[in-house]
Structures are given as structure tokens and as C-alpha cells.
Amino acid sequence: MTEFDTFTEADDLGPAKVVHLTERRTGLRAVVVIDNVAAGPAIGGTRMAPDMTTRVCARLARAMTLKNAMAGLRHGGAKSGIVADPGMPAADKERLIRAFAAAVGDLTDYIPGPDMGTDEAAMAVVFDEIGRAVGLPAALGGLPLDELGATGFGVAEGAEVAAGMLGIDLNGARVVVQGYGAVGRHAARFLGARGSVLVAASDSRGGVVDPSGLDLETLDGIKSRGGSVADYPGESMVVERDEVFTVDCDLLIPAAGPDAIRADNVDDVKARLVLQGANIPATLDAETRLHQRGIVSVPDFVINAGGVICGAVEYAHGTRTQAFEAIAESVRGNVEEVLARSRETGRTPREVALDMAHIRVRRAMETRRWT
């Protein structure tokens, strides 16, 4: 048994299914965790990463159960992971995604969506194989959530509510984005439209800092040509990628991988508000520490639900306008309720949000024959 295969944790919510997939000819190695389907077929992203493990997949699947419940969707939570380098040649990637799709065809209570290392094109391949996926390209009648910036939009909507409650003016607020990808760059863009200034950004290859503000179009141009934010021209300071956590700012948006904020760097965080664009970007201990330090951290499954809400609206054949209205309504309402309850009780935002989401999942479970 390797770390990839090991999985021992389960509770009354799930997981309902943990399925390992291997295919010798294509070299496919993947895992699907369908955590809970009480509210309906589970939606969750397909991540492609060389270091994907079953344990991480299960944690992400649970986060989806809670996120979908929090957002009031008619969907349970799941996640899948393909163990591979997403930067592989396009033809090899398509072959692998095709093999993955064929292998999940029978898991009809799982609806794949895009995640780190996969995109709308990958979902088009999945849809072509099994007729089931969200986050499809517009040509297939999809609402391309990464192109539209659905999650980043929700992060900015939630940021507006949280900032208002904390007395932070978004106009002129300094923003740091760790992981300038689909979520991070759109969050920066929607916050930029409210007058906020991006003072630091990072990606897997490095970081860049400029207290006077980074130009988003320049950054997007560099990224679209396959470059790194560290290639940003001019007077800005190129830094190690994790140094962005130490930058003085108002809003910090971790939007890359799990456990980026941990015991060894949590005390370096200088932000007033952390918006968890990524899934599980902070360890639980680090989140508690942020709370003790008076830094409000809005949990992943509350603030980054925009993508899955967009996916659910697409699945129900809704429009882009309906998706964005649903995101704004859901994320804004949840951020307000979570932060208000946290303030009243002194508990961390995650603790109160977990209570709210668990109640919603259990209510859905009570309606099912098998409970």
C-alpha cells in the first residue's frame, strides 16, 4: 500500500464511495471519492496533480459536500484526482482524461467538473465520453466557469460583505493573491473593479511584489503566454513564491493548493481578512491561530462556492446571468451569516460554518429512504 491508496477515515456523512481507477495501457491512476449524495448526484472537480492522494481527495470531497449544502444546491459532494503532471503534452492529456472519463462512466452519482490541472476542454472530453460533466465550453452549451471567473466573482462578492463588516474600504484595499490562476486572477479582477489594488501575486514558479500595484492586464498577458508572474517587467520585486504570505495587505487570497498557510508561516500573515479562494488552503491549527490574532478567515466552502454554483446552474440548463445572480445571493448571504455568528459566539468562522453546513446535510439525509 502506498500513500495514494491509504484511506481509513469515515464518519456518518461519508464517504459513500471511494473508487481507485487504474488502466495499464494509458497509465491512468486516479481516485474518485463520492462523499455524500443525500441532496442529489454529487458535483466535484477532477484534479490533475502528480502528488494527489486518496486522503487529500477525501478531504476535498467532504469540502464539496459542505460547500454544496452551504450553497443550497440539489447536489452532494465528491472529488476526483488523476495522478499525473497537468503540463504533459496535450494529446497525452486528452488520452488520459478520456480513459478517466470512461472509467467513471458507471459512477452515475458523480458529475465531474474542472479543477486544478483540468479545464473546460478537459470537461468537453469527459462529456464526449460519458455525457455528464459541468464547466463545459460555451460551444457545448456550457457556462465556462473559469473563463467567466465564477469563483473569483463569488470571492469578490463575499469580500465586499466581509470588508463591510470589518470596516475595510475595498476602494484602495491592498490585495495579495497566492496562486494567480483561474480563481486568483478573476478575484483580483473583480476586486480591481471595486478599486482594490493587487500588491503581490504568486504562482508555482515564483512571486512578485509591488506596493504601488501590479497591472492585471500585464499579468494576464504573461500568464496567457505560459509565463510566470515572476516575469512581470519593471521595478517590481521578484520574490520566492511563499514570500507573498508576508506582504503587508488588507486582503489575502490563498488560491493555489492545500495547507499553504500552516504553523510555520501563519504568524507572518499581515492581512486583516483572508478569503480562502482555494480548497483547504490553511491547516485547522493555522486557522485557529489567525482567529486568535484577530484576522478573519472566511472558509473555503463559504467563499469559493461560485464555481460549483455556476456548474449547478449549467447542469439545470440555466443562463450565465442566473448563475451570477445565484452566486452573489448565496455567497453574500452565507458570508454575512457566518461572520455575524462568529462575532456573536467568539467561535472561528469555520466552526460556525461547519455547524450550519452539517445541519443542512443532515436535513437532506433525513429525507432519504436509507437513513
Burial classification of residue 249, based on how many CB atoms lie within 10 Å of its CB (0-12 exposed, 13-18 middle, 19 or more buried) = buried
Beta strands in 84-152 (DSSP E): 110-114
User: CA-CA distance, 136 to 216, in Å (whole number)?
Assistant: 26
Decide: 153 and 351 in contact? Cβ < 8 Å: no
**Min CB(310)–ligand NAD separation in Å:** 8
Secondary structure element (H or E) that encloses residue 203, with its range: strand 197-203
- Cβ atoms within 10 A of the Cβ of 345, count? 11
Q: Is 314 an interacting residue with respect to ligand NAD (CB under 6 A)?
A: no
Q: Which stretch binds ligand NAD (CB under 6 A): 92-100, 165-173, 176-184, 287-295?
A: 176-184
- 278 touching ligand NAD, by CB under 6 A: yes
* Region from 26-34, 174-182, 262-270, 286-294 binding ligand NAD, contact rule CB under 6 A: 174-182
Provide, rounded to whole angstroms, the least separation between the CB of residue 206 and ligand NAD: 8
Query: Binders of ligand NAD among 193-222, rule CB under 6 A?
Result: 202-204
For the chain, the distance separating the N- and C-terminal CA atoms, rounded to the nearest angstrom, is 33
Q: Is 243 in the site for ligand NAD (CB under 6 A)?
A: no
Rounded to the nearest whole angstrom, what is the least distance from the CB of residue 29 to ligand NAD in the complex?
19
Contacting residues for 215 by C-beta, under 8 A, at least 6 apart: none
**Is residue 146 a contact residue for ligand NAD (CB under 6 A)?**
yes
178 forms part of the interface with ligand NAD (CB under 6 A)? yes
Is residue 142 involved in binding ligand NAD (CB under 6 A)?
no
Active site residue 17: no
Q: Is 154 in the site for ligand NAD (CB under 6 A)?
A: no
Among 100, 180, 190, 301, the residue binding ligand NAD under the rule CB under 6 A is: 180
C-alpha span between 332 and 144 (Å, rounded): 22
Is 365:38 a contact under the CB 8 Å cutoff? yes
Smallest gap from Cβ 12 to ligand NAD, in A, equals 25
**Helices (runs of H) and strands (runs of E) counted in the chain:** 12, 12
Residue 231, judged by CB atoms within 10 A of its CB (0-12, 13-18, 19+), counts as middle
Angle between helices 150-166 and 320-345 (to 10 degrees): 30
Stretch 22-51 residues interacting with ligand NAD (CB under 6 A):
45
CB of 102 to ligand NAD, least distance (A): 24
Considering only residues 182, 187, 274, 313, which one is a binding residue for ligand NAD as defined by CB under 6 A? Answer: 182
β-pairing verdict for 174-178 and 110-114: unpaired
Q: In angstroms, rounded to a whole number, what is the distance separating the alpha carbons of residues 161 and 245?
A: 23
Query: What mask of x and - would describe binding to ligand NAD in positions 75 to 104, judged by CB under 6 A?
Result: ------------------------------
Provide, rounded to whole angstroms, the least separation between the CB of residue 279 and ligand NAD.
4
Reduce the DSSP state of residue 154 to 3 states and report it. Answer: helix
Give the orientation angle of helix 306-315 with respect to helix 320-345, to 10 degrees.
140
Selected catalytic residue, list 79, 93, 223, 270: 79
> What Rg do the C-alpha atoms of the chain give, in angstroms?
19
The residue (of 228 and 365) whose beta carbon lies closer to ligand NAD is: 228
151 or 334, CB closer to ligand NAD?
151
Query: Which residue, chain included where needed, has cell 521578484?
Result: 238
Size of the site for ligand NAD (CB under 6 A): 26
Binding ligand NAD by CB under 6 A: which of 46, 54, 151, 348?
151
Figure out which of the listed residues 59, 241, 272, 360 binds ligand NAD, where binding follows CB under 6 A.
Answer: 241
Please give the grid coordinates belonging to residue 290: 489567525
Catalytic residue IDs: 79
**Which spans of this chain sit near ligand NAD (rule: CB under 6 A)?**
45, 115-116, 145-146, 150-151, 178-184, 202-204, 241, 255-257, 277-279, 304, 307
